[in-house]
A and B are shown apart, each in its own frame.
Chain A
Amino acid sequence: AQSVTQLDSHVSVSEGTPVLLRCNYSSSYSPSLFWYVQHPNKGLQLLLKYTSAATLVKGINGFEAEFKKSETSFHLTKPSAHMSDAAEYFCVVISISGGSYIPTFGRGTSLIVHP
């Protein structure tokens, strides 16, 4: 079984300040973890992924995430928010080593960036 909890439904930051979007997961197997971003009226775009290599993963647009097995977390961070980062962000888990290729999405975190 697998599940994802995105701890905040909305996060509001000022432009130029750090971003933290929190994600906790549950998986009976070694998980693969992803962050996707969805801008209004656009398709889901992959930001970054963890697939059992380096625990600190760097993605596009300055985002990064750290896989912490002991905390079952995969929080997404960015040092300095930009107005264009305003979007919906989804944390996703897949338990590939358990033989399943079915991803479970979190409910999403809406990132609001103030000028």
Chain B
Amino acid sequence: DTGVSQDPRHKITKRGQNVTFRCDPISEHNRLYWYRQTLGQGPEFLTYFQNEAQLEKSRLLSDRFSAERPKGSFSTLEIQHTEQGDSAMYLCASSRTGGEGETQYFGPGTRLLVL
């Protein structure tokens, strides 16, 4: 399967703990995006990378959130000191510069539950 993959698919944690999610994009895609989706809402943009550079971050991304893409391939999203309000589906997507009108391909998501 050459699609976008995310790991883990589910995560349950206690309030105050740190969690880290991983995203592996489609191999030839140089752009990688993170989104958060809560029940009944559309995905909300968090941040995106072009190669290893983090080009934009949403105001939704508090200081407790950090994302990296060290070698321009996979990416990690870390949430420190989790809060119950962080419970959501975290989606990753990738795209290719100038390709297909910036069509983004989504992974299956990581569902986070903070107790």
Contacts and interface: CB of A to CB of B under 8 A. Distances in A.
Given A49-B100, A49-B103, A101-B31, A44 B41 contact: no
A108 B108 contact: no
Chain B interface residue bracket vs A: 20 to 34
A51 B102 CA distance: 9
A96 interface: yes
Contacts, number: 49
A107 B38 CA distance: 10
A43 B95 CA distance: 15
Contact of B44 (A36, A44, A105): A105
A108 B41 CA distance: 7
Contact of B102 (A32, A36, A105, A108): A32
Interface in A35-59: 36, 42-46, 49, 51
Nearest to B31: A101
Interface string B92-106: 010100001111111
Contact of A34 (B41, B91, B103, B108): B103
Closest 9 CB pairs of A and B: A51-B101, A105-B42, A44-B106, A43-B108, A43-B106, A32-B101, A105-B43, A90-B42, A108-B42
Interface of A: 32, 34, 36, 42-46, 49, 51, 90, 94, 96, 101-108
